Structure 1
């Protein structure tokens, strides 16, 4: 039995569309990220960390529920935010499971799980939620001069993208006014939650919108990243890379302020802090090297993400772990830290506490699975040891990641028996997927 005093505070910080190689600790040269680099070096950093889908919505649905999203029929991003058939169905989340363990739960930023009353974060386990319900938000208030009246006053009906990105900022169920750059607004909201919730264990989900499109940042920050000094990347314009760099830098600065408040409140020794991206970086802005592909792809550049965790007094500083883990493990491990039972709760991730501390050096997963189609079509990925099989449109690709991280050499023809056994295992796993929620 874990007492309340023994239960750690848990913070999960999630970036949106961050490239695998866009933090200094992962090798980035053109965007300084000192606060995230420091956090990674104070804890355990993973080099084979995965999310459950290569785009925002299903990946976040998997993380928030701790379950593979195909097992409850969540196959694609919410496109029409007011359609009650789109989004997350009423079900347990990591937040609601932690509530049952005596945690106060807070969320800040991007939701993207639907907008009905039953889909609202407050109905999904979050005691306190600040910001927006759509899949993104413009980074300045809609009357900001840079928009030149595009949104206020409105001149014509909005398309689906801007309908998503112009929903109101809310605190719980009430709209609020905001005046500053969105990333700074989110950071301040996270800090307020910390200040107001020091009396009992808390869970805080910092769901940053950056560096997701649109590309926007304060001009004084963009000026720190002259296009001519940005890394030259195929398909990425120097100007786009410049603004993207400013967005990542602003997020890092905000995270630095958040972590400084954790220290100032005397919470550091009992606060576990996770960081990850929700999927791979965008092709037009990000550096996913040495991985192949980008957001939306079943290659490593779409599903492998930067991830690290600091567990004070438990994890060794600066440890780099190379075995495959998944974002589903965050929920299972956090619930176990809080005194809950991940398997009893039906979570699909694993409690990897002993792996984090290296009390056990055994790889947490022998096999990982993905369903990557936007419907029930038999398309997906299976990773078994160092072998990875991609299944789509009755075609298969087989790669050996240890020898070929860039997925340049398709070995399917060379190892037909391996292809058959891995495909059969994936088909068996995929057999109990559920029909799409929006049928």
Structure 2
């Protein structure tokens, strides 16, 4: 396939001259917002030295929208810690989740493959104990562990329940967190009314606000002496997922708990709760919590040699700020799958950079395996493309298709073009460089391209497991 120049820019810092511009660089969906930012082919470490294999701190927010950070345009939310992380590394404007809901995206991250390649990935999302991540399937954690990493997962798992499924059955040495898709932040009651805070496979009693507990545990982990081993920490916050309960909202918590205990199956969905202001409070708390973990990392002396990754697991929910994107969580419109994404690795990647390259969750699995010196299992080929050459050596990425499938919707992105079919059944084509809101359907103007991308989607779909009837 033909290749194209990296879509990348470096902000001028302190009025300094900007580095060499790549003449062939072409902006994509964030072109309007980044029009003043020249494009180049850098991704060069400021230190100019090679580091050892990095520690990996992989942080996920939960249902955080693409524009919910101030560095992504939120006019009313302040996220200084994540904004600083972006200034110190690379901010991606065209990064996507592996699916439009929680557990399929986690399957795509942990396996590096489309969710539809595994039975558990067909659940959108997992809601019962019938399916999960097969312990025999290689994962990011198991492959890095085999390559000499210490591995831990703190926070939300959402890839199956005990006794058959658990992080410690799939490559993580340690687990502290919740198994389900949501929990009440104080009581730790899950969607079925069950208690859902565990250390390993044993219940762990702590009725403090959940984000505080997760932050504390993660800070302890990054400061721990791991000997000569590099480490992988998957840090999965539930913030800002419903219920809409911020730290200190004990009365609201008690009301949700009362409804759960009375048998209300939708109590955690909090359909009658929340507000833009409450959501803002939760996002800003997430930012402060991540800032605490990053401060602990710096205090430990490992900041230089730790690759920090931040993203959301899918698009935003009902109070999210997604402008100008259309759609929300559960949809394959841009607002359902485009997510804020930041990468920092001081020893190898220079700061102040913005990438406009379309990338998605399985790419990060392939990337982390490469930089961690782990070999994928040939019996389970990856669907992502490693970005290590692009990030570390300024190499060009090949032209390729990013693929998504959820019940009733389909999508493919190639370059600036996106093929989309929603629940109405109409095939549509959008030029995201000119129309990131997906309002100008170009299907009638580009019938050959529409047919080509539709055929590409159908070829990949034919390789995947069918949805159960």
The two structures have a TM-score, normalised by structure 2, of 0.80
Q: Is the 8 A contact 1:323 1:364 kept in 2?
A: no
- Is 1:22 equivalent to 2:68 in the alignment? yes
Listed as ranges, the gaps of 5+ residues in structure 1 are: 143-150, 152-160, 222-235
Superposition pairs of residues 8-87 of structure 1, within 5 angstroms:
8-73=54-119, 74-81=121-128, 83=129, 85-87=130-132
Superposition pairs of residues 400-415 of structure 1, within 5 angstroms:
400-415=431-446
Residue 197 of structure 1: how far off its partner (Å)? 4.4
Residue 65 of structure 1: how far off its partner (Å)? 1.1
Q: Is the 8 A contact 2:138 2:377 kept in 1?
A: no
Listed as ranges, the gaps of 5+ residues in structure 2 are: 1-50, 251-270
Q: Is the 8 A contact 1:118 1:124 kept in 2?
A: no
CA displacement 1:171-213 (0-9 Å, x = unmatched): 1111111132111110011122223343111000000001001
- Is 1:184 equivalent to 2:212 in the alignment? yes
- Secondary structure in structure 1 of the residue aligned to 2:232: strand
Give the structure 2 partner of residue 201 of structure 1: 230
Aligned equivalents of 1:357, 1:429: Cα separation in 2: 30
- Secondary structure in structure 1 of the residue aligned to 2:122: coil
Aligned equivalents of 2:118, 2:203: Cα separation in 1: 31
Superposition pairs of residues 256-267 of structure 1, within 5 angstroms:
256-267=291-302
Q: Is the 8 A contact 1:372 1:381 kept in 2?
A: no
Give the structure 1 partner of residue 150 of structure 2: 104
Aligned equivalents of 2:433, 2:309: Cα separation in 1: 26
Superposition pairs of residues 80-229 of structure 1, within 5 angstroms:
80-81=127-128, 83=129, 85-90=130-135, 91-141=137-187, 162-163=191-192, 166-199=194-227, 200-219=229-248
Residue 314 of structure 1: how far off its partner (Å)? 1.6
CA displacement 1:109-132 (0-9 Å, x = unmatched): 111111133311100111011011
Change (3 A) 1:79 1:319: closer
Give the structure 1 partner of residue 327 of structure 2: 293
Aligned equivalents of 1:184, 1:67: Cα separation in 2: 32
Give the structure 1 partner of residue 26 of structure 2: none
Residue from 382, 390, 408 that aligns with 1:347: 382
Task: Please identify, of 133-142 and 254-263, the stretch whose mean Cα deviation from structure 2 is larger.
Answer: 133-142
Give the structure 2 partner of residue 231 of structure 1: none
CA displacement 1:253-278 (0-9 Å, x = unmatched): 11111011111111011100000000
**Cα root mean square deviation, aligned:** 2.3
Change (3 A) 1:264 1:242: same
Task: Please identify, of 248-257 and 364-373, the stretch whose mean Cα deviation from structure 2 is larger.
Answer: 364-373
CA displacement 1:252-311 (0-9 Å, x = unmatched): 1111110111111110111000000000001x2100111111111111000110001001
Q: Is the 8 A contact 1:342 1:350 kept in 2?
A: no
Q: Is the 8 A contact 2:101 2:125 kept in 1?
A: no
Give the structure 2 partner of residue 7 of structure 1: 53
| Number of residue pairs matched by the alignment | 395
- Secondary structure in structure 2 of the residue aligned to 1:305: coil
Q: Is the 8 A contact 1:88 1:113 kept in 2?
A: yes
Residue 21 of structure 1: how far off its partner (Å)? 0.8
Task: Please identify, of 174-183 and 10-19, the stretch whose mean Cα deviation from structure 2 is larger.
Answer: 174-183
Residue 79 of structure 1: how far off its partner (Å)? 4.9
Change (3 A) 1:176 1:116: closer
The two structures have a TM-score, normalised by structure 1, of 0.85
- Is 1:397 equivalent to 2:444 in the alignment? no
- Is 1:367 equivalent to 2:401 in the alignment? yes
Residue from 454, 459, 469 that aligns with 1:423: 454
Aligned equivalents of 2:108, 2:280: Cα separation in 1: 28
Residue 380 of structure 1: how far off its partner (Å)? 1.4
Task: Please identify, of 340-349 and 119-128, the stretch whose mean Cα deviation from structure 2 is larger.
Answer: 340-349
Residue 12 of structure 1: how far off its partner (Å)? 0.4
- Secondary structure in structure 1 of the residue aligned to 2:339: strand
CA displacement 1:79-135 (0-9 Å, x = unmatched): 543x2x322223111111110110010011111111133311100111011011011
Aligned equivalents of 1:166, 1:315: Cα separation in 2: 44
